[in-house]
Structures are given as structure tokens and as C-alpha cells.
């Protein structure tokens, strides 16, 4: 098996909290395994200055985000990674805003792939959609279903 470059995203604003601990343990196991990643890049969402997606859809034209902040460096790291692991606490049935900003800003990858690089072969036009409600696709919205994830419920013990 080829060695992979792993990117590990710590999603909590709280340093050394529960989800940091979970991800540290996961990485310990991964690094000790026979399939140990070639490189592990640890990304702490709380240390980045990444603003919310503006929903301007400029990335739908160029495939790149026009907002200038720390996400520029993170786009490069994400592109270079072979696989990714994300740890996060649940904040009001979602993820903390620092991590959510990163997730939303990866819309530029989606736009680059499906809007810019893949025009409709029959018309040559890039697909245009009208999102219904909050989601674009049928099925559970991204991050709406955590089943299959490594979840530690009741981590607080109350």
C-alpha cells in the first residue's frame, strides 16, 4: 500500500479538550500502524483566521475563492493531502463555527470541479442549479448524519 499524506483537522475552539484528545489518540494509532501515513499535518481550526463563506459564488466562475485570509494556505494543504481526518465537538447539532467556516469555504473545490471544469457536454454551459432549502442534493445534508463516525457520546459525564 502506498504511503499517504494525512491531514488532521482539530475542530474545537477549546485547546486540549475532548475532541483534541480523541484525535491525538487516533493519530497515535495511525502512526503506529503498519499503514502509517507518510506525513501527518495537524491543523487547528482555532488558530486560523478564516472568515465565513460570503455565498458570493465567485468561485463558481473561477474555481477559486476571492476572500483573502488564512484559507488560502489551507486550500493548498488540503489539495496536497491524500486523506483527511476531522475531530469536532457537537455544537447545537452542528460543528463549531471555526470548523464550519473551513467546511463552507471548501465550496470553492466543489465549484472548481463541477461548475468550472465540467461544463454540460450537450450545451457547453456550466451547470446552474437552484438549491432547494439548505441543501443542493437529495439525501442527508453533509454533516447532518454522524452515523459511521467515531463518536464519543456523553464525554462530559453528565
Ligand X SMILES: Cc1cc2nc3c(=O)[nH]c(=O)nc-3n(C[C@H](O)[C@H](O)[C@H](O)COP(=O)(O)O)c2cc1C
Write out the residues near ligand X by the rule CB under 6 A: 12, 14, 17-20, 89-93, 155-156
Q: How far is the CB of 70 from ligand X (least distance, A)?
A: 20
Among 20, 28, 63, residue whose Cα is nearest residue 44 = 20
**CB-wise, 79 or 156, nearer to ligand X?**
156
**CB-wise, 22 or 71, nearer to ligand X?**
22
Residue 60, Cβ neighbours under 10 Å: how many? 18
Dist. CA 49–CA 101, nearest whole Å = 10
Contact (Cβ atoms closer than 8 angstroms) between residue 90 and residue 151: no
Q: How far is the CB of 95 from ligand X (least distance, A)?
A: 10
**CB-wise, 4 or 21, nearer to ligand X?**
21
Q: Which residue is nearest to ligand X (CB)?
A: 17
Q: How far is the CB of 15 from ligand X (least distance, A)?
A: 9
Contact (Cβ atoms closer than 8 angstroms) between residue 34 and residue 55: no
Residue 24, Cβ neighbours under 10 Å: how many? 15
Q: How far is the CB of 44 from ligand X (least distance, A)?
A: 11
Q: What is the CA radius of gyration of the chain?
A: 17
Q: How far is the CB of 42 from ligand X (least distance, A)?
A: 15
Contact (Cβ atoms closer than 8 angstroms) between residue 10 and residue 20: yes
| DSSP label at residue 5 | E
**CB-wise, 24 or 107, nearer to ligand X?**
24
**CB-wise, 129 or 154, nearer to ligand X?**
154
Amino acid at each position: 500500500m502506498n504511503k499517504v499524506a494525512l491531514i488532521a483537522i482539530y475542530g474545537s475552539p477549546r485547546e486540549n479538550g475532548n475532541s483534541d484528545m480523541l484525535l491525538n489518540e487516533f493519530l497515535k494509532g495511525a502512526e503506529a500502524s503498519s499503514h502509517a501515513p507518510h506525513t501527518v499535518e495537524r491543523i487547528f481550526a482555532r488558530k486560523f483566521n478564516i472568515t465565513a463563506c460570503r455565498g458570493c459564488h465567485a468561485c463558481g466562475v473561477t474555481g477559486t475563492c476571492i476572500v483573502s485570509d488564512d484559507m488560502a494556505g489551507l486550500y493548498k494543504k488540503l489539495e496536497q493531502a491524500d486523506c483527511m481526518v476531522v475531530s469536532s465537538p457537537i455544537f447545537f447539532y452542528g460543528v463549531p463555527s471555526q470548523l464550519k467556516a473551513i467546511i463552507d469555504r471548501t465550496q470553492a473545490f466543489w465549484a472548481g470541479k463541477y461548475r468550472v471544469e465540467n461544463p454540460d457536454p450537450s450545451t457547453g454551459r456550466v451547470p446552474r442549479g437552484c438549491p432547494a432549502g439548505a441543501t443542493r442534493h437529495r439525501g442527508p445534508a453533509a454533516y447532518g448524519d454522524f452515523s459511521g463516525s467515531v463518536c464519543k457520546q456523553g464525554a462530559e459525564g453528565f
